[in-house]
Chain A
Amino acid sequence: MAGDGEPISEAEALEQLRQTDDQSRQYYAAWWLGRMRSQHPEAVPLLLTALRQRQPRNPGAGVEHNAVARNAARALGKIADARAVSELLAVLDDADDGLREAAARALGELRAKAAVPPLIRRLASGPDVAGAHRSDSPRLQEPCEAMLEALGAIGVAEAEVLAVIKPFTRHERPLVRSAACRALLQLTGETAWADELLQLLQHPQLQVRRAALMDLGAVGWRPALVPIQRTLAENSLKLIALRGLVENGSGSEADSDDEAVLMAMDALL
């Protein structure tokens, strides 16, 4: 019997997502379909049904439905089927910030231009409101990192978008600053934002250095090659960042030989 974490086939995954009695199986099946980037014709419709399973957050009651919906949103982003956009846009206004976070990331992966106005609207109040601490958890009012990263990935570099993102480069949390600089670097290609990320590679907290590595990789900032090599972090993360430099190449050395980056990767294996 296939349960959590056990290998299943695509047919089993679809069946487990279809049934509604056991939500932990739905949760796993939704994750599995995204991980495998399933192209089965039933995958997207079933994931959309699972996404609609979300319900108002009710502390004390089970939140399993929303857990399934979160994984469905993530999977829809990975499968990157445009049919998912309208439902994901609706989720951006859900009361559950975990769901908003998953939807924002998925819309970023889908490069959904329609998501720009709602993302801007939710972030427009800036670091002091949208980026303020919540009283009930260590999370922020809005899932700022995911929303900023989505704006960078979608790639609409209009003045209004940049104006909303910029104040977050001064947010008190370095991870939010990193996400804002990443988005601005993607949208403008201006070296100043890269310099901020390079500084974060030397932050005393490992978690921040890791985030800056991922952000430079996502932008593919080639001039970051040597600073990435020198960063105090696991080789596994540096390899992911360098993969980004190869695959998303940008910056003044974007046309340089891939081989230099590949040799740096070889040295980290």
Chain B
Amino acid sequence: MTAERGDSQHAADRIRAFEQASSAEELVVATRRLTACDDPLATVPHLVRVLGFNNPGAAVAAVDGLIALGPAAVGPLLTHLDAHNYGARAWAVRALAGIGDPRGLDVLEEALATDVGPSVRRAAARGLGALRLESLPEDDRQRLRERCLEGLENGRRDGEWVVRYAVAVGFEGLALPLPPAHPHSQRVGTGLRLLLAPEQEEARVVRLRAGVALKRLERR
């Protein structure tokens, strides 16, 4: 197999093909190929760059690739993130929400509280309920979970139904690993019951989702 051939598994070849992509469609294909090669870590900085290209197809592929790489992608994501490029930040929030690494907490918190895009806030809310805290010492876990909870409690008052829906999903994810008597479980229960009340929550789909979450938490 020659290095110039498009079917090479080598990261270096695929990165070269990616650098030479000359149309939006080629970029989507080249990005997908970056996410499946023999040295995926080498491709991370390129995947992060794709987030700022204003090419949704390629960005979706890059986010999927970054999520598949997991925690190894978080450092480069946070370092190379272009804070002034709104589109890039929005895609990065989705990637960080999908990876669930605690280092993404600052970005997720800020996105749920302040981002103008409902699709970004909804990803952040889901992410706040999906951080992988299990390997951390109990004190850290407690402190980070406290911040996630606060973010979700504020997100419960978001003006967009889809964000409140994601908050219900986030609440469920946050409390599922906890014993029912844990104070954080209790707070999640309160938050979900507010999303269940017709006088508080106008969207029936949000009330239904909150009901499902409460049922699952009772069954745990």
Report A's interface with B, CB cutoff 8 A: 234-236, 239-240, 243, 246-247, 258-259, 262, 265-266, 269
Taking a contact as CB atoms closer than 8 A, the residue among B119, B123, B165, B204 that contacts A265 in the complex is: B165
Taking a contact as CB atoms closer than 8 A, the residue among B119, B125, B205, B212 that contacts A236 in the complex is: B119
Q: A247 near B119 (CB under 8 angstroms)?
A: no
Q: A269 near B126 (CB under 8 angstroms)?
A: yes
CB-contacts of B50-93 with A (<8 A): none
CB nearest to B125 among chain A residues:
A269
Q: How far is the CA of A259 from the CA of B169 in the complex (A)?
A: 13
Most B CB atoms within 10 A — which of A234, A240, A262, A269?
A: A269
Closest-CB distance, B2 to chain A (whole angstroms) = 34
Q: Does B122 contact A (CB under 8 A)?
A: yes
Q: A247 near B204 (CB under 8 angstroms)?
A: yes
Q: A247 near B126 (CB under 8 angstroms)?
A: no
Listed from nearest, the 6 A-B pairs whose CB atoms lie closest are A269-B126, A243-B205, A269-B166, A246-B205, A247-B204, A236-B119
Q: How far is the CA of A234 from the CA of B118 in the complex (A)?
A: 13
Q: How far is the CA of A236 from the CA of B169 in the complex (A)?
A: 16
Report B's interface with A, CB cutoff 8 A: 118-119, 122-123, 125-126, 161-162, 165-166, 169, 203-205, 208-209, 212
Most A CB atoms within 10 A — which of B161, B165, B203?
A: B165
Q: B212 near A246 (CB under 8 angstroms)?
A: no
Q: How far is the CA of A262 from the CA of B212 in the complex (A)?
A: 9
Chain B residue numbers with a CB within 8 Å of A243 are 161, 203, 205
Q: A236 near B165 (CB under 8 angstroms)?
A: no
Chain A residue numbers with a CB within 8 Å of B204 are 246-247
Chain B residue numbers with a CB within 8 Å of A269 are 122-123, 125-126, 162, 165-166, 169
Closest-CB distance, A100 to chain B (whole angstroms) = 29
Q: 22 A-B Cβ contacts within 8 A?
A: A234-B119, A235-B119, A236-B119, A236-B162, A239-B162, A243-B203, A246-B204, A246-B205, A246-B208, A258-B208, A258-B212, A259-B212, A262-B208, A262-B209, A262-B212, A265-B205, A266-B126, A266-B169, A269-B125, A269-B126, A269-B165, A269-B166
